[in-house]
Structure 1
Amino acid sequence: MSSVHFRTGLGFDSHEFEKGKPLYIGGVCIDFPLGLKGHSDGDVLLHAITDAILGALGEPDIGELFSDRDERWKGAPSELFLREALERVREKGYELINLDCVLIADKPKIAPYKGKIKGKLSELTGLPLERISIKGKRREGFCEVEGIACMCTVLLGKPDEG
């Protein structure tokens, strides 16, 4: 029986709401009157997943790789960041095993969008739906600024050599 080397990663991101921008969560455009403030498209879920993957690999974080001081990333779709992280997973011989994510927001409600978000994440990562968990939780007064925060864990695996 061969053994597998595992690595876990934890990602976090948060952005406050901003008028005049579309709201993206997990690569899905959500019907909501406010978007998220950020240099790129502000997709907290894709940012948290990207950072979790990069952390599991021991790579620089999303802010180092895609600086908000670099005009190339202004308004960029966060899918670009996730694709780069996934390419690094492949280059190091790992594969993504699962995603477990918590979105923290009073609004919009996450439940009506879960299926669509999971489908988009499956498309982006190649993971089957049953290996992707998306949960929505309310702030319960933990911060004054309205926006969305996200925490994510990932599991990476690689068969041990020899």
Structure 2
Amino acid sequence: MANLVGLGMDAAAGGVFGIIGTALGRIASYFERKQEMEQERLRWGHELKLHELQMQARQQETEMEMAIAEQQGSWRGLEASINADANTGVASKWVINTLRLVRPVLTLLLWLITAWIFSKTGDAGIVNSAVFAATAATLWWFGDRAPRLRNQLGVPGPV
């Protein structure tokens, strides 16, 4: 009978250890699965960040392309202005000289008006706008004349 009780105890102990082993395996599987999910979350987070960086790079590239196109358009406008200014046709010398004086006289008048506005108004916004307009006109006037000097020196102008 002792043999039978020992056999029953061995079977019960084996069953208990089997259940404990199964439970430990399930617990270990739970932690493994949790680690796998964390790894997947990190991987997808990395993918998301990579896509965001690619979108940002594309946006910057698009902005640069737009800036380049705008700059090229600006140069084309300047070139058209220079060509229109040079295209006076056949006219007497005093007409050509009068045409050449229009922008310098307008620029001088603009600066005189700016000085008058500066002396008469106390509004900083109006003064700033007038100074901006006068500066833009002056720089355009000098910038419009600069390529001719370059061409006389044999230096190619902007394309």
Give the TM-score of the pair, scaled to structure 2. 0.19
Larger radius of gyration: 2
The structure with the largest strand share of the pair is 1
Give the TM-score of the pair, scaled to structure 1. 0.19
